[in-house]
Amino acid sequence: IFCHNNPWVMIAETMTGNGARAFEYYKKIAPAYLEDISELHKTEPYVYAQMIAGKEAYQPGEAKNSWLTGTAAWNYYAVSQYILGIRPHYDGLIIDPCIPPEWKEYSVNRKFRGKKFEIIVRNPQGVSKGVKSVLLNGKPLNKNFIPADSKGDSHRVEVWMG
Q: List the domain boundaries for the chain.
A: 5-74, 85-161
pLDDT at 1: 80
Task: Note the CATH number of domain 85-161.
Answer: 2.60.420.10
CA 45 to chain centre: 20
pLDDT values of the chain reduced to their tens digit, one per residue, 162 residues: 888 899 999 999 999 999 999 999 999 888 887 777 777 668 887 888 888 888 898 888 888 888 888 899 999 999 999 999 999 999 999 999 999 999 999 999 999 999 999 999 999 999 999 999 999 999 999 999 999 988 999 999 999 999
pLDDT at 92: 96
Pairing of strands 105-112, 115-122: antiparallel
pLDDT at 162: 96
Count H helices and E strands in the chain, helices first. 4, 10
Beta sheet of 92-95, edge-to-edge order? 86-89, 92-95, 145-147
pTM: 0.91
pLDDT at 66: 83
